[in-house]
Structure 1
Amino acid sequence: MRRALTGSKNTSSTTVSPESTEARIASSALRLFATKGFAASGIREIASAAGITTASLYHYMGTKEDLLVHLMRTSLERFVTVGRQSLEGLTSPAECLAALVRIHVATEGLHPLMSIVNDSEVRSLIGASKDAVMRVRDEYEALWSQTIKSGVEQGIFHVAEPSLARLALLEMCNGVAHWYVAEERLALGEVSDHFADMALALVDAQSDGKRLAVSTLGMRPASFEIGLVQRIYSEYK
């Protein structure tokens, strides 16, 4: 009987045991989808990269689209989980926005292949498959929408089009996966704090007439959000 990969929590070589066949398949597919694109990646290529035959590959998965949907849904579900947990205990919209930016930047920096696939391959999905992925993505983006809306309603954020602000901020954070290299000058925590400051500037965050920044909010260190991302992803091993 075919044992479908869909439904498994193993999605990439960075988050699952490399000895597992499912892990090798997911890791190989993820790398190919991120570097070549879903349409240009063939079933034979995925099987070869995973070190198995094409016939064996079908024992672990349904279609190539099933594999893409699985990778994207599980990755986005982690985004939702880590996003919600980053907001726990925070009441200020400015702190909430900074926390969301930090976890998004951390995820893009630590798991760039997953992030690139999430950002670029929705276009490859149709029908029910696309709807399933979009529901999870919408759930994550709602955290941002609610935070920005709350900031505007409380007079802390000053932005005429909150929905455009959300799109601009997400696009800004998504780009990290394409250029961040851990060995470069800035550590990931520093990058996330700089991005959080830019996000607060974009929504014109103010309190008592003074502009808000990470340094003025008295926030916990960025290592908290980085550790949160690492912990949530490690739970999928």
Structure 2
Amino acid sequence: MSTAQGGPYERAHRPTRPEGAPTVDRRSAIRQAALRLFASQGYRSTTMTDIGAAVGIRGPSLYKHVASKHELLAEIMIDTMDQLIADNAAAVAGTDDVREQLRRSTEAHIRYHARHRLEAFVGNREIGSLEQADQDRVLSRRSDYERRFRELIERGVAEGAFCVRSARIASYSILDMGIGVSSWFHEGGEFSVDQLAYHYGDTALRIVGARHPGPAPQEHDLPLG
């Protein structure tokens, strides 16, 4: 997710900046500080004072940049889902082959969760901290995102490419892999993000019983051991 530009929610809720007002970069820094604090100590235990201290802003000055910590949480969670949906749409756009579409969708899902671990962690843990209207917005986007995987799997079954008893359970299983990756992956470890994405893409095809899986990874694609 690009915090420099922000997602649809942030753009819709960002006031026009008058002359001499704080820059978007400062707001982005506040949002990133809030994300780190929400992840490390929890949303409810984080105060606006904590967030201000993390970026060197004291007291009421923080409210020139953001209205509340709830606004920050809602932006983070809604923009996360918007980015996942956009990545999914881009992943399937380049091919009509249902097997390749599922692989690419899974790879995009894994890449996001590997590169945005804090967003994934906060989004998974703090859904109950959102006010109802924003919680509904997040849950609606989550349903849309899951449905994209499920309908892809259902299409694969209808075309004879996949063999699975429950497309819904299969889609949940694939989506859960992203949450797992966000909990343990770190840069500089045994696998690169791309290697990890390919591995999980292959696993997704096995979950749906793909009858003709894609080509096996080349020797240089995945580390030995």
- Settle same-fold status: TM greater than 0.5: yes
Query: For residues 64-83 of structure 1, what are the structure 2 equivalents within 5 Å?
Result: 64-83=69-88
Percentage of identical aligned residues: 26
* 33 and 214 in structure 1: CA distance in 2 versus 1, 3 angstrom threshold: farther
> Residues of 2 paired with 1:126 and 1:161: CA distance?
33
Question: Is contact 1:173–1:195 with CA below 8 Å preserved after alignment?
Answer: no
> Residues of 1 paired with 2:91 and 2:38: CA distance?
29
Q: CA deviation at 1:19?
A: 8.4
Query: For residues 210-225 of structure 1, what are the structure 2 equivalents within 5 Å?
Result: 212-215=213-216
Q: CA deviation at 1:87?
A: 0.6
> Residues of 1 paired with 2:215 and 2:128: CA distance?
35
Say which SS state the counterpart of residue 175 (structure 1) adopts.
helix
Map Cα deviations across residues 47-82 of structure 1 (whole Å, 9 max, x no partner).
111210131122222222121111111121111111
> Residues of 2 paired with 1:140 and 1:54: CA distance?
39
Structure with the bigger RCO (C-alpha within 8 Å, sep 6+) is 1
**Partner residue of 1:102?**
107
Amino acid corresponding to residue 215 of structure 1 in structure 2: A
Counterpart selection for 1:175 from 174, 180, 202:
180
Map Cα deviations across residues 165-211 of structure 1 (whole Å, 9 max, x no partner).
1111111122111211221121111111111111111111104xxxx
Question: Is contact 1:196–1:214 with CA below 8 Å preserved after alignment?
Answer: no
> Residues of 1 paired with 2:112 and 2:103: CA distance?
14
Question: Is contact 1:101–1:196 with CA below 8 Å preserved after alignment?
Answer: yes
> Residues of 1 paired with 2:146 and 2:56: CA distance?
37
Question: Is contact 1:156–1:205 with CA below 8 Å preserved after alignment?
Answer: yes
1:186 aligns with 2:191: yes
**Partner residue of 2:168?**
163
Count matched residues.
203
C-alpha root-mean-square deviation of aligned residues, in Å? Answer: 2.4
Counterpart selection for 1:135 from 129, 134, 140:
140
Amino acid corresponding to residue 188 of structure 2 in structure 1: E
Counterpart selection for 2:202 from 197, 201, 210:
197
Q: CA deviation at 1:140?
A: 2.1
Counterpart selection for 2:55 from 50, 58, 61:
50
Counterpart selection for 1:7 from 5, 10, 27:
10
Unmatched runs of 5 consecutive residues or more in structure 2 = 1-5, 13-22
> Residues of 2 paired with 1:163 and 1:214: CA distance?
26
Map Cα deviations across residues 57-113 of structure 1 (whole Å, 9 max, x no partner).
222222221211111111211111111011112112211111011111111111211
Q: CA deviation at 1:214?
A: 4.7
Question: Is contact 1:197–1:214 with CA below 8 Å preserved after alignment?
Answer: no
